[in-house]
Chains A and B, each alone.
Chain A
Amino acid sequence: MHPILLLVLQRLGLGVLLLLAASALIFGLTEILPGDAAQAVLGQSATPESLANLREEMGLNRPALTRYVEWLGGIVTGDMGNALTNKLPIADQIARRMSATLFLAFWAALISVPLAILLGLIAVRYQNRWPDKAISGITLASISLPEFMISYILIFLFAVQLPWAPSFVSINDSMSLLQKLHAISLPVAVLTLVVLAHMMRMTRAAILNVMQSAYVETAELKGLSTFAVIYRHAFPNAVAPIVNVVMINMAYLVVGVVVVEVVFAYPGMGQYLVDAVVKRDVPVVLACGVIFAAVYIILNIVADVVSILANPRLRHPK
C-alpha cells in the first residue's frame, strides 16, 4: 500500500475515534451535571414521586451507557427524538435549519476565502509598506471586536442610516436567489469580516515562510518579477498551509454562525441551539451541540488530510 494512503487512513481512523470521544464528552457533561430532562420538564417544584414517574416513563432510570449508545444510534440514523418544549421531532427542525445555516455559511465562505488569499498575497507583495500595515491594523481591530458588535455596527450603518439591506432576515422558498442573497447580505458580510482578518494574516505568514526558502531566492536572482515569483514559485508550495488556514477558519465560521444568527433572528442551527439552552431543552442542546462539534472536527480532519496530500515530500517518498 502506498505510504501516504496509510497515513491518510490512519488520520481518518483517529478522526472517527475523536468524533466518538467528543460525542461521549458532550453526553457525559449533561449527565454528570445536576438536573435532567425530567427535572427540566417538571421544574424545581416537582414532587419526588412525579419526578420518579416521569424518569421511568422517559427511560432515564436505565444505565447511562445504554442511553448513550441509543442516543448515538439515533443521531446517526437521523432519529433524534422529540424536543421537550414543543414535543416536535428534533430531526425535522434540524433538517430545515441546517440547510438555512449552510446557505449562510456557503456564501460567507465563497466571498471570504478568495478575498483573504488575494489580500494576503498583496500584504506579502507590499511587505512592511502601507498596505501590509493597514492589513495588520485591521486584523488587530477585528480580533478585538465581538461578532455581535460588528453586526450592530453594520446594521446601524447599512440598515438604519442607509436603508440598503434588511436587519431581520427572513427567507422562504418562494424568493428568487437574488432576493435571498439580498436578505442575507448583512449576516454574510459580518461572517466574512469575522474570518477574513484571521485568514489573511495566516495566509501572509504561510507565504512569507515559503518566501524565505532558497528556491525563491534563486527565482528572484534569475530576474523574475515579484508577482511571478509569488505566483509561480511561492504560491504552489504555500497551498498546503493555506488550505489548512482556510479549513481552520471555516471551522471558526461554525462558531461565528451561532452569534450572528441570534443577532439577525435567522432561523438556523445556531439560533435553535441558543433557544434550546435558554429553555433548558437538553435533548435539542445535545443534538445541536454534537452536530456543531462534528462539523468542527470533520473540517479539522479534512485540513489534516489535505495538508498530507499536498505535501510533495510525502507524496513521493524516497
Chain B
Amino acid sequence: MSKIPLSALIGLIITGTYFLGAIFAGVIAPYGMAEVVGDVWEPSSPEHWLGTDQIGRDLLTRIIYGGQTTIFIATAATILSFTTGSVLGFLAAVFGGWIDQVMSRLVDLFMSIPSLILALVILSSIEATVLTLIVIMGLLDSTRVYRLARAVAVDISVMDYVEAARLRGEKFGWIIFREILPNALSPLVAEMGLRFIFMVLFISTLSFLGIGVQPPLADWGGIVKENKDGINFGIGAALYPAIAIATLAISVNLVADWILNRTTSLKGGRG
C-alpha cells in the first residue's frame, strides 16, 4: 500500500468531516433548524459563529442541516445512477446485438439534451420532493455511467477468462457479477467521485433556481437563494453555503484523483 499523498489526505479529511457533520447534524448543530434566535442578518459573534440568516435563524445550524440534505440527496442519487447505469451497461456489453443498439441509441438521445434542461421540463410536470429529485437526478445521470460501464465491459467481455466462463456454461448473472464486475470496479469507483460532485452541483443549482428542495427543508443551494438579497447590502451570508459546496467538491475531487492514479498504477498503467 503506497503512502497517501498530502493532497488526497486533505481531501479525505475534509470529505470525512462533511459526511460526519451530515450524519450527526442533529447532535452538533447549536440551535434548532427552524428556530429564530436573533435579528435579521446579524454579523458573526460568539453565539452565532456565522451570524444569522434573512429571518434571524442561526446560519451555522442552517448550513449543517442543509449539508445533511444536500449530501443525502447527492449520495442517494449517485448510488441510483451507478446501479442503474452499470447494470444496464454490463447487460448491453454482454448481450450485444439489438438490445445493445436500442439501449445505446436511447442513451445517446438522452445525452443529446443537457441534463438541466431535461430536469426543468420534468419538474414542470411533477412535484419536487426529496424522492422525485433523487430519482430524476439519478436516472438522468445514469446515462453517463452507462456509457462508461458499457465501454469498460465490452473490453473485458472479449477476454479469455470470460470466454472460458461462457464455455463452462456459466449464466449471465455469473458472467456479469463474478467475471466483469470485479475487473471493471476500479474505473467505476474513480468515476463515482466525479458523479457525486456533479450531483452536489446539480441539486444545489436546482434548489438555487427554486425548483429543487422545497422549504421547510433546507439545502445549500436553497440557503444561497434565501440569503442572496443580503449580497447587495454587503452581507456575505449567501457565500458561506457556496463555500461549503466548493470545498466539498474540491476535496472529493482530490480523493477521486488519487484513487484513479492508484488503481491505474496497480494495473501496471494499462488503465
The segment out of B54-62, B177-185, B246-254 that lies at the interface is: B246-254
Q: How many angstroms between the C-alpha atoms of A281 and B121 in the bound complex?
A: 10
Of A18, A35, A259, A276, which contacts B126 at CB under 8 A? A35
Question: Is A274 a contact partner of B112 (Cβ separation < 8 A)?
Answer: no
Question: Is B125 a contact partner of A282 (Cβ separation < 8 A)?
Answer: yes
Q: Is A311 an interface residue when CB atoms closer than 8 A count as contact?
A: no
Q: Name the A residues within 8 Å of B118 (CB-CB).
A: 26, 29, 289
Q: Is A78 an interface residue when CB atoms closer than 8 A count as contact?
A: no
Question: Is A161 a contact partner of B246 (Cβ separation < 8 A)?
Answer: no
Nearest chain A CB to B214 CB, angstrom units:
11
Q: How many angstroms between the C-alpha atoms of A18 and B109 in the bound complex?
A: 7
Question: Is B121 a contact partner of A285 (Cβ separation < 8 A)?
Answer: yes
Question: Is A156 a contact partner of B242 (Cβ separation < 8 A)?
Answer: no
Question: Is A280 a contact partner of B124 (Cβ separation < 8 A)?
Answer: yes
B257 and chain A: residue at smallest CB distance: A140
Q: Which chain A residues in 264-290 approach chain B with CB under 8 Å?
A: 273-274, 276-278, 280-282, 285-286, 289
Total contacting residues, chain B, CB less than 8 A: 40
Of B123, B210, B242, B250, which contacts A146 at CB under 8 A? B242
Nearest chain B CB to A72 CB, angstrom units:
15
Question: Is A29 a contact partner of B121 (Cβ separation < 8 A)?
Answer: yes
Interface string of B97-121 (1 = CB under 8 A from A): 0000000000001101110111011
Q: Name the A residues within 8 Å of B131 (CB-CB).
A: none
Question: Is A259 a contact partner of B209 (Cβ separation < 8 A)?
Answer: yes
Interface string of B191-216 (1 = CB under 8 A from A): 00000010001001100111100000
Of B112, B124, B208, which contacts A276 at CB under 8 A? B124
Interface string of A98-125 (1 = CB under 8 A from B): 0000000000000000000000000000
Nearest chain A CB to B85 CB, angstrom units:
18
Tally A-B pairs: CB < 8 A: 140
Q: Is A167 an interface residue when CB atoms closer than 8 A count as contact?
A: yes
Question: Is A292 a contact partner of B114 (Cβ separation < 8 A)?
Answer: yes
Of A25, A140, A161, A274, which contacts B253 at CB under 8 A? A140
Question: Is B121 a contact partner of A160 (Cβ separation < 8 A)?
Answer: no
Query: Given the interface contacts A144-B250, A146-B245, does A255 sit within 8 Å of B116 by beta carbon?
Result: yes
Question: Is B126 a contact partner of A277 (Cβ separation < 8 A)?
Answer: no
Question: Is B239 a contact partner of A152 (Cβ separation < 8 A)?
Answer: yes
Question: Is A25 a contact partner of B110 (Cβ separation < 8 A)?
Answer: yes
Total contacting residues, chain A, CB less than 8 A: 50
Nearest chain B CB to A261 CB, angstrom units:
10
Question: Is B250 a contact partner of A140 (Cβ separation < 8 A)?
Answer: yes
Query: Given the interface contacts A29-B125, A278-B211, A282-B124, does A152 sit within 8 Å of B253 by beta carbon?
Result: no
Of A145, A147, A159, A285, which contacts B124 at CB under 8 A? A285
Of A22, A34, A140, A143, which contacts B125 at CB under 8 A? A34
Instruction: List 7 interface pairs A-B (beta carbons < 8 Å), by A numbering.
Output: A29-B121, A145-B249, A146-B245, A161-B234, A258-B116, A258-B120, A262-B208
In the complex, besides A148-B221, A152-B231, A274-B211, 7 extra interface pairs with C-beta distance below 8 angstroms are A140-B253, A145-B242, A153-B242, A156-B234, A156-B239, A277-B121, A296-B113
Hey, which bits of chain B sit against chain A, CB under 8 A? 109-110, 112-114, 116-118, 120-126, 197, 201, 204-205, 208-211, 221, 224, 228, 231-234, 236, 238-239, 242-243, 245-246, 249-250, 253
Hey, which bits of chain A sit against chain B, CB under 8 A? 18, 21-22, 25-26, 29-30, 33-35, 140-141, 143-149, 152-153, 155-156, 159-161, 167, 251, 254-255, 258-259, 262-263, 273-274, 276-278, 280-282, 285-286, 289, 292-293, 296-297, 300
